[in-house]
A and B are shown apart, each in its own frame.
Chain A
Protein backbone atom coordinates (compact mmCIF):
# COMPACT_ATOMS: atom_id res chain seq x y z
CA UNK A 1 0.00 0.00 0.00
CA UNK A 2 1.25 3.44 -0.83
CA UNK A 3 -0.28 6.88 -0.91
CA UNK A 4 -0.92 8.95 -3.99
CA UNK A 5 -1.87 12.58 -4.06
CA UNK A 6 -3.25 15.25 -6.36
CA UNK A 7 -1.25 18.15 -4.99
CA UNK A 8 0.40 18.92 -8.31
CA UNK A 9 -2.96 19.04 -10.12
CA UNK A 10 -4.64 21.16 -7.47
CA UNK A 11 -1.62 23.43 -7.19
CA UNK A 12 -1.82 24.04 -10.94
CA UNK A 13 -5.56 24.72 -10.63
CA UNK A 14 -4.86 27.33 -7.96
CA UNK A 15 -1.98 28.71 -10.05
CA UNK A 16 0.44 28.20 -7.20
CA UNK A 17 4.12 27.32 -7.34
CA UNK A 18 5.75 24.79 -5.00
CA UNK A 19 7.49 27.63 -3.18
CA UNK A 20 4.23 29.53 -2.66
CA UNK A 21 2.45 26.48 -1.29
CA UNK A 22 5.44 25.65 0.90
CA UNK A 23 5.51 29.15 2.35
CA UNK A 24 1.74 29.12 2.92
CA UNK A 25 1.87 25.92 4.98
CA UNK A 26 5.20 26.67 6.68
CA UNK A 27 7.48 24.02 5.15
CA UNK A 28 10.37 24.01 2.67
CA UNK A 29 9.95 23.73 -1.10
CA UNK A 30 11.83 20.42 -0.90
CA UNK A 31 9.14 19.04 1.40
CA UNK A 32 6.36 19.94 -1.04
CA UNK A 33 8.38 18.37 -3.86
CA UNK A 34 8.96 15.18 -1.84
CA UNK A 35 5.24 14.92 -0.98
CA UNK A 36 4.21 15.45 -4.60
CA UNK A 37 6.59 12.75 -5.77
CA UNK A 38 5.35 10.41 -3.00
CA UNK A 39 8.84 10.25 -1.54
CA UNK A 40 7.56 11.48 1.79
CA UNK A 41 4.22 10.93 3.53
CA UNK A 42 3.19 14.06 5.42
CA UNK A 43 1.76 14.11 8.93
CA UNK A 44 -2.02 14.37 9.29
CA UNK A 45 -1.67 17.99 10.36
CA UNK A 46 0.40 18.95 7.32
CA UNK A 47 -1.99 17.05 5.01
CA UNK A 48 -4.92 19.04 6.42
CA UNK A 49 -3.03 22.31 6.10
CA UNK A 50 -2.22 21.60 2.42
CA UNK A 51 -5.81 20.56 1.69
CA UNK A 52 -7.14 23.72 3.36
CA UNK A 53 -4.75 25.91 1.40
CA UNK A 54 -5.79 24.28 -1.87
CA UNK A 55 -9.51 24.47 -0.94
CA UNK A 56 -10.13 20.75 -1.32
CA UNK A 57 -11.05 17.87 0.93
CA UNK A 58 -8.14 15.96 2.42
CA UNK A 59 -9.68 12.62 1.36
CA UNK A 60 -9.77 13.83 -2.21
CA UNK A 61 -6.21 15.14 -2.10
CA UNK A 62 -4.66 12.02 -0.56
CA UNK A 63 -5.74 8.48 -1.27
CA UNK A 64 -4.41 4.99 -0.79
CA UNK A 65 -3.01 3.16 -3.77
CA UNK A 66 -2.85 -0.62 -3.90
CA UNK A 67 0.58 -1.49 -5.30
CA UNK A 68 0.21 -5.29 -5.16
Chain B
Protein backbone atom coordinates (compact mmCIF):
# COMPACT_ATOMS: atom_id res chain seq x y z
CA UNK B 1 0.00 0.00 0.00
CA UNK B 2 2.82 2.35 0.89
CA UNK B 3 4.62 1.55 -2.37
CA UNK B 4 1.46 2.31 -4.32
CA UNK B 5 1.01 5.60 -2.48
CA UNK B 6 4.63 6.52 -3.15
CA UNK B 7 4.56 5.67 -6.84
CA UNK B 8 1.43 7.78 -7.24
CA UNK B 9 3.21 10.75 -5.72
CA UNK B 10 6.17 10.24 -8.02
CA UNK B 11 3.94 10.54 -11.05
CA UNK B 12 1.85 13.34 -9.71
CA UNK B 13 4.54 15.99 -9.27
CA UNK B 14 7.57 17.16 -11.19
CA UNK B 15 11.12 17.19 -9.77
CA UNK B 16 12.15 20.13 -7.63
CA UNK B 17 14.31 21.83 -10.29
CA UNK B 18 11.17 22.50 -12.34
CA UNK B 19 10.38 25.20 -9.78
CA UNK B 20 13.39 27.20 -11.02
CA UNK B 21 12.62 26.51 -14.69
CA UNK B 22 8.97 27.50 -14.27
CA UNK B 23 9.69 30.63 -12.27
CA UNK B 24 12.38 31.80 -14.69
CA UNK B 25 10.07 31.22 -17.66
CA UNK B 26 7.17 33.02 -15.97
CA UNK B 27 9.24 36.02 -14.89
CA UNK B 28 11.01 36.47 -18.25
CA UNK B 29 7.87 36.04 -20.33
CA UNK B 30 5.78 38.11 -17.93
CA UNK B 31 8.40 40.85 -17.68
CA UNK B 32 8.94 41.52 -21.42
CA UNK B 33 5.40 42.68 -22.34
CA UNK B 34 5.29 44.83 -19.19
CA UNK B 35 8.59 46.44 -20.19
CA UNK B 36 7.29 47.15 -23.69
CA UNK B 37 4.05 48.59 -22.29
CA UNK B 38 6.00 50.74 -19.81
CA UNK B 39 8.33 52.12 -22.51
CA UNK B 40 5.37 52.88 -24.79
CA UNK B 41 3.47 54.50 -21.94
CA UNK B 42 6.51 56.53 -20.87
CA UNK B 43 7.01 57.98 -24.36
CA UNK B 44 3.29 58.29 -25.04
CA UNK B 45 3.45 55.92 -28.02
CA UNK B 46 0.52 53.81 -29.21
CA UNK B 47 0.13 50.51 -27.41
CA UNK B 48 1.11 48.39 -30.44
CA UNK B 49 4.51 50.08 -30.99
CA UNK B 50 7.51 47.72 -31.04
CA UNK B 51 10.30 48.97 -28.84
CA UNK B 52 12.18 45.84 -27.87
CA UNK B 53 12.54 44.54 -31.42
CA UNK B 54 10.25 41.61 -30.73
CA UNK B 55 7.40 40.93 -33.18
CA UNK B 56 4.01 41.77 -31.70
CA UNK B 57 2.67 38.26 -32.21
CA UNK B 58 4.95 37.08 -29.43
CA UNK B 59 3.28 39.41 -26.98
CA UNK B 60 -0.07 37.80 -27.38
CA UNK B 61 -0.86 34.15 -27.81
CA UNK B 62 2.56 32.50 -27.61
CA UNK B 63 3.59 34.60 -24.62
CA UNK B 64 0.37 33.70 -22.88
CA UNK B 65 1.04 29.99 -23.41
CA UNK B 66 4.66 30.30 -22.22
CA UNK B 67 3.61 32.30 -19.16
CA UNK B 68 0.99 29.74 -18.20
CA UNK B 69 3.43 26.88 -18.81
CA UNK B 70 5.94 28.57 -16.52
CA UNK B 71 3.52 29.03 -13.66
CA UNK B 72 2.13 25.52 -14.10
CA UNK B 73 5.63 24.02 -13.99
CA UNK B 74 6.28 26.00 -10.81
CA UNK B 75 3.03 24.89 -9.21
CA UNK B 76 3.46 21.22 -10.12
CA UNK B 77 7.07 20.91 -9.00
CA UNK B 78 7.84 19.17 -5.72
CA UNK B 79 9.21 20.96 -2.69
CA UNK B 80 12.76 20.04 -1.65
CA UNK B 81 11.49 17.65 1.00
CA UNK B 82 8.10 16.31 0.08
CA UNK B 83 6.13 14.35 2.69
CA UNK B 84 2.57 13.45 3.58
CA UNK B 85 1.98 16.68 5.51
CA UNK B 86 3.01 18.76 2.49
CA UNK B 87 0.70 16.66 0.30
CA UNK B 88 -2.15 17.31 2.75
CA UNK B 89 -1.60 21.08 2.74
CA UNK B 90 -1.31 21.06 -1.02
CA UNK B 91 -4.57 19.15 -1.50
CA UNK B 92 -6.42 21.36 0.99
CA UNK B 93 -5.18 24.46 -0.83
CA UNK B 94 -6.44 23.04 -4.14
CA UNK B 95 -9.81 22.33 -2.52
CA UNK B 96 -10.07 25.90 -1.19
CA UNK B 97 -9.08 27.38 -4.58
CA UNK B 98 -11.71 25.26 -6.30
CA UNK B 99 -14.46 26.60 -4.02
CA UNK B 100 -13.24 30.20 -4.19
CA UNK B 101 -13.37 29.92 -8.00
CA UNK B 102 -16.89 28.50 -7.90
CA UNK B 103 -18.13 31.22 -5.53
CA UNK B 104 -16.42 33.95 -7.61
CA UNK B 105 -17.96 32.72 -10.87
CA UNK B 106 -21.36 32.30 -9.21
CA UNK B 107 -21.37 35.83 -7.77
CA UNK B 108 -20.11 37.35 -11.03
CA UNK B 109 -22.84 35.53 -12.91
CA UNK B 110 -25.52 36.88 -10.53
CA UNK B 111 -24.21 40.43 -10.96
CA UNK B 112 -23.80 40.30 -14.73
CA UNK B 113 -25.35 37.53 -16.78
CA UNK B 114 -23.31 38.42 -19.88
CA UNK B 115 -19.98 38.44 -18.08
CA UNK B 116 -17.15 36.55 -19.72
CA UNK B 117 -13.65 35.80 -18.53
CA UNK B 118 -10.70 34.51 -20.53
CA UNK B 119 -9.80 30.92 -19.62
CA UNK B 120 -6.11 31.83 -19.42
CA UNK B 121 -6.79 34.61 -16.88
CA UNK B 122 -8.88 32.25 -14.79
CA UNK B 123 -6.19 29.56 -14.92
CA UNK B 124 -3.44 32.02 -14.03
CA UNK B 125 -5.49 33.45 -11.16
CA UNK B 126 -6.19 29.94 -9.85
CA UNK B 127 -2.54 28.90 -9.95
CA UNK B 128 -1.36 32.13 -8.29
CA UNK B 129 -4.06 31.83 -5.62
CA UNK B 130 -3.08 28.20 -5.04
CA UNK B 131 0.59 29.10 -4.59
CA UNK B 132 -0.19 31.98 -2.21
CA UNK B 133 -2.62 29.86 -0.16
CA UNK B 134 -0.18 26.97 -0.02
CA UNK B 135 2.58 29.22 1.27
CA UNK B 136 0.35 31.01 3.83
CA UNK B 137 -1.09 27.74 5.14
CA UNK B 138 2.37 26.23 5.56
CA UNK B 139 3.46 29.29 7.53
CA UNK B 140 0.28 29.38 9.64
CA UNK B 141 0.29 25.72 10.58
CA UNK B 142 3.93 25.68 11.55
CA UNK B 143 3.98 28.98 13.44
Contacts and interface: CB of A to CB of B under 8 A. Distances in A.
What DSSP secondary structure best describes chain B's contact surface? helix
B116 interface: no
Which interface residue of A30, A33, A42 has the most chain B CB atoms within 10 A?
Answer: A30
Contacts of A22: 81
A34 B85 contact: yes
Contacts of A30: 85, 138, 141-142
B84 A43 contact: yes
B2 A45 contact: yes
Interface string B1-14: 01000000000000
A33 B142 contact: yes
A42 B138 CA distance: 16
A27 B85 contact: yes
Interface residues of B, number: 11
Interface in A1-33: 22, 26-28, 30-31, 33
Contacts of B86: 28, 31
Given A40-B88, A45-B2, A28 B83 contact: yes
Which interface residue of A28, A34, A35, A42 has the most chain B CB atoms within 10 A?
Answer: A28
A28 B2 contact: no
Nearest to A27: B83
A12 B142 CA distance: 20
Nearest to A26: B83
A51 to B, nearest CB: 16
18 contacts: A26-B81, A26-B83, A27-B81, A27-B84, A27-B85, A28-B79, A30-B138, A30-B141, A30-B142, A31-B83, A31-B86, A34-B85, A34-B141, A35-B85, A40-B88, A40-B141, A42-B85, A43-B84
Interface of A: 22, 26-28, 30-31, 33-35, 39-40, 42-43, 45-46
